[in-house]
């Protein structure tokens, strides 16, 4: 069992931290919000009052923070991780951040003698709680092998995507696909309804035909066919419009820096931005179904 520093105990991090403690690791937990630290202690972790105390003696430092600027600040500020951790500690950032930000963090950390991995996740809060996250990991093979047992205590599918930043690259491309496919699925259900097919009938056919996709079979945006989908719960998240918009903007930035054409990704960004402007940013991203129906 290992000593692990865990920084960022929000919707995702709190559950990941609890799973590490349950697996028998010593987990030092830190968040700017003291209540989140108290909750982590109740779930089996040790309270840390600051980053220095959190990383003391840690073999792994895991961060699960809102965005790239938080990761850079937690890593590189004078009271941050690199100023206080032992350089043998492996730094694993599980936040979703820009590919360029992940690569620059890895380079800066390497220059200071630290090993890093970018390891964003897919699966959402339910998978974080159940310990069934999918990890997409960028970094050296040896560091990936070292992290694998720890990541396995929080997830089910652990993929090595290549060198630093490739985990974020996989995450950003995957979530762009998800954002587009949810709009496409909503359009298809709306068209079918306007042509006289009820949602159940169309689902039964299309889920066994070539239109089948995750947005349809696991997360159907039309109420009815998939009982667990947010469509049956007033589009409560789930995965909020605000989160999807963040990920699509990361995809746009990544595409711009790589000169990759993403016309549908750009259109998807505009669509979710419209939902955001309509005050729907806290709703599940599958609420795009309502937006399409109302046009
Ligand atoms: P969240 O806002 O619930 O949690 C972030 C936590 O970080 C908060 O508790 C906040 O207090 C803490 N924090 C911020 N700055 C800090 C600092 N300087 N030091 C210590 N703690 C600090 O966010 P979340 O939903 O847990 O998401 C975390 C990351 O995971 C994001 O990058 C998100 O894009 C990604 N993600 C989220 C989901 C999801 O469904 N929620 C799914 C996949 C990936």
Buried/exposed code over 11-26 (b: 16+ C-beta within 10 A; e: otherwise): ebbbbbbbbbbebebb
| DSSP-assigned states of every residue in 32-76 | SSHHHHHHHHHTTPEE-SSHHHHHTT-SEEEE--SSHHHHHHHHH
Cβ pair 119, 140 in contact under 8 A: no
Confirm or reject: Cβ of 70 under 6 Å from ligand 1. yes
Q: What fold, for 3-162? A: Rossmann fold (3.40.50)
Q: How far is the CA of 221 from the centre of ligand 1 (A)?
A: 25
Tokens of 125: 């809060």
The Cα–Cα gap between 258 and 198 comes to 42
Q: Which of 235, 210, 248, 247 is nearest to 293 (CA)?
A: 235
pLDDT of 248 above 90: yes
pLDDT number for residue 125:
87
Q: Which atom of ligand 1 is nearest to the CA of 243?
A: 34
Residue from 6, 9, 11 to probe ligand 1 pocket by mutation (most atoms less than 8 Å from CB): 11
Q: What mean pLDDT comes out for the span 231-253?
A: 95
Kindly list the domain boundaries of the chain, sorted by start residue.
Answer: 3-162, 169-293
* Residue with the two structure tokens 């709306």: 190
Mean per-residue pLDDT over the chain, rounded: 97
pLDDT tens-place string over residues 109-129: 999 999 999 999 998 888 999
pLDDT of 192 above 90: yes
Q: Mind telling me the catalytic residues?
A: 171
CA distance to 3, 281, 282, per residue, from 278 (Å):
45, 8, 11
The Cα–Cα gap between 105 and 93 comes to 10
- Name the residue at shortest CA distance from atom 3 of ligand 1: 10
Whole-number percent of the chain with pLDDT over 90: 97
Cβ pair 282, 241 in contact under 8 A: yes
Q: Which atom of ligand 1 is nearest to the CA of 73?
A: 18
Give, in degrees to the nearest 5, the angle at Cα 259 between 64 and 271: 65
pLDDT number for residue 103:
97
Does residue 97 sit in helix, strand or coil? coil
pLDDT tens-place string over residues 13-60: 999 999 999 999 999 999 999 999 999 999 999 999 999 999 999 999
pLDDT number for residue 126:
86
Rg of the chain taking only CA atoms, in angstroms: 20
pTM listed for this prediction: 0.94
Tell me, yes or no, if the two domains 3-162 and 169-293 fold the same way.
Answer: no
Q: Which atom of ligand 1 is nearest to the CA of 124?
A: 40
pLDDT number for residue 104:
98
Does residue 24 sit in helix, strand or coil? coil
pLDDT number for residue 238:
85
CATH entry, 169-293, from 1.10.1040.10, 1.10.3720.10, 3.40.50.970, 3.40.50.920: 1.10.1040.10
Q: How far is the CA of 12 from the centre of ligand 1 (A)?
A: 7
């Amino acid at each position: 069992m290992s000593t692990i520093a865990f920084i960022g105990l929000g919707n995702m991090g709190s559950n990941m931290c609890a799973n590490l403690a349950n697996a028998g690791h010593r987990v030092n937990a830190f968040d700017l919000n003291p209540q989140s630290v108290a909750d982590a202690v109740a779930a089996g972790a040790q309270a840390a009052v600051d980053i220095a105390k959190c990383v003391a003696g840690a073999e792994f430092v895991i961060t699960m923070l809102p965005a790239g600027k938080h990761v850079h600040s937690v890593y590189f500020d004078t009271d941050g991780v690199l100023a206080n951790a032992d350089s043998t500690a492996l730094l694993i950032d599980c936040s979703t951040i820009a590919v360029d930000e992940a690569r620059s963090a890895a380079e800066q950390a390497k220059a200071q003698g630290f090993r890093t991995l970018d390891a964003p996740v897919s699966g959402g809060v339910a998978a974080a709680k159940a310990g069934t996250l999918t990890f997409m990991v960028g970094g050296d093979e040896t560091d990936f092998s070292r992290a694998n047992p720890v990541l396995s205590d929080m997830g089910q599918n652990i993929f090595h995507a290549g060198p630093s930043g490739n985990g974020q690259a996989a995450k950003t491309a995957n979530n762009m696909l998800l954002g587009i496919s949810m709009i496409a699925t909503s359009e298809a259900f709306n068209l079918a309804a306007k042509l006289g097919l009820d949602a159940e009938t169309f689902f039964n056919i299309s889920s066994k035909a070539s239109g089948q996709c995750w947005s349809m079979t696991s997360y159907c945006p039309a109420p009815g066919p998939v009982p667990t989908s947010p469509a049956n719960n007033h589009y409560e998240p789930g995965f909020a419009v605000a989160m999807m918009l963040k990920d699509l903007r990361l995809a746009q930035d990544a595409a711009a820096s790589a000169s990759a054409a993403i016309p549908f990704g750009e259109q998807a960004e505009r669509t979710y931005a419209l939902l955001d402007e309509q005050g729907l940013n806290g709703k599940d991203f599958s609420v795009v179904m309502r937006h399409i129906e109302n046009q």
